[in-house]
Structure 1
Amino acid sequence: MTLEDFWTLIHRSAVETVGQDQRTEWLTARLARRPVSEIIEFELHLTAQRKRVDTRHMWGAAWNILQGWCSDDGFWYFQPWLVGLGHDAFERVAVHPDALADTHEVRRLAGRPSSEWTDDEWPEWESMNYIALNAYDRATGEEEGLEDALEARGLYRVCDASPEDERWDYDDIEQRRTRIPRLTELLGEHHPAT
């Protein structure tokens, strides 16, 4: 599976389904019918794309979008949501997290308390973390087979965020204005009551 194949699957899952649960099942079912090597490659592509957005700069953008509710796990679930935006949007935001201000998915959340967001509006996609794992299990009947297959290659499944860039204070409005000015302007300096 090439990187282009990976992005084609992500795109088709958005076109052929509605909502994250359906997308997750669609991707899992499609992968389970492919050779085991492609399931492994899907996981490796997902990991490589996540690494590109596993930065504190992006974490600050996520924190702002999620109205201050972005823990370690929340950021880990935010990363596959970014992948789910599709290749073009992902490329833009991976380079400039502030470009999230231009996405329809973020613009529709602006000014609304998170308590009003539907499950499918939440900028998180936790279940994407398990697509390859579950597809491998379906394809082989081996419950932890993907992890064993990766380990045989000297690799392992990444299971948490670990940004290495400079820390900054996501609560500091001046830092937000400097680092993510368009998101700060779109979402406001203060978040609506949740």
Structure 2
Amino acid sequence: MNDEDFWALIEDARRRSDDPDRRLDLLRDQLVSRTPAEIIGFWTCLDRARAKVDTWEMWSAAELICDGWCSDDSFWYFQFWVVGLGRAVLTKVAAEPDALAEIPEVRRLADIPLSEWDDGDVPEWECLDYVAAEAFDAVTGETDGLEAALVAAGIDMSCSPEPTGEAWEVRDKAEAERRLPRLSAMFPLEGEAA
């Protein structure tokens, strides 16, 4: 599976449903009709796409959106959420994380206090991380087969953020306004340092 095939699957599922669980079902249905090698290809394309937004700047953007709280796990799942927004969005925000301010899903969150977010509002898509493994196991009948296949192929299986770029303090108001001006205006943090 190449990047074009990968993005066709992601974007087809997105066109067919707004519901993340339904989109996962659609992806899983597509993947279980593929060969194990194609499922490995899907995983490698997914990991490559996710890595494009594994940056300190993106982590700071996620922290702003999530009211200053973004753990390793929540940033990891945020990355999959960004991938799920589609290729054009991922490409745009990977180049300029502050462009998240233009994304309708993010703009909607700015109008809802964090205390009123329900589970569907949280910008994360944890289950996208597992869909290839589930499909691989279903196709091969193995448990944890994808991980073993990746190890056998010499492919490192990423499982947590390893951000690139420069870490900085998102609660430093001046720095946040300089680096992420639109998101800082949309999601001002309480108790920001001057």
Say yes or no: TM over 0.5. yes
**1:150 aligned to 2:121?**
no
Matched, 1:137 2:150: no
Aligned partners of 1:180, 1:190: CA distance in 2, in Å?
Answer: 16
Separation of aligned partners in 2, 1:96 and 1:119: 27
- Structure 1 CA distance, aligned partners of 2:33 and 2:116? 38
Paired residues of 1:111 and 1:187 also in contact (CA < 8 A): no
1:89 aligned to 2:116? no
- Out of 174-183 and 115-124, give the one that drifted further: 115-124
Q: Report the TM-score, using the length of structure 1 for normalisation.
A: 0.94
Partner of 2:49: 49
Aligned to 1:34: 34
Map Cα deviations across residues 92-114 of structure 1 (whole Å, 9 max, x no partner).
Answer: 00100000000000000114222
Instruction: Tell me the SS of whatever aligns to 1:33.
Output: coil
Counterpart check, 1:112 vs 2:112: yes
Counting matched residue pairs gives 191
1:92 maps to a residue whose letter is: K
Alignment of 1:1-194 (within 5 A): 1-190=1-190
Q: Distance in 2 between matches of 1:77 and 1:18?
A: 17
Query: Partners of 1:68 and 1:187 in 2: how far apart?
Result: 9
Q: Runs of 5+ in structure 1 lacking a partner?
A: none
Q: What letter matches 1:61 in structure 2?
A: A
How well do the aligned residues superpose, as a CA RMSD in angstroms?
1.3
Q: Distance in 2 between matches of 1:29 and 1:84?
A: 17
Q: Percentage identity across aligned positions?
A: 46
Cα distance in structure 1, aligned partners of 2:89 and 2:188: 22
Following the alignment from structure 1 to structure 2, what is the Cα–Cα distance between the partners of residues 148 and 98? 38
Shift of 1:179: 0.8
What TM-score do the two structures reach when normalised by structure 2?
Answer: 0.94
Report which stretch shifted further, 65-74 or 118-127: 118-127
Encode CA deviations 1:114-144: one digit per residue, 9 max, x unaligned: 2222322211000000010001011111111
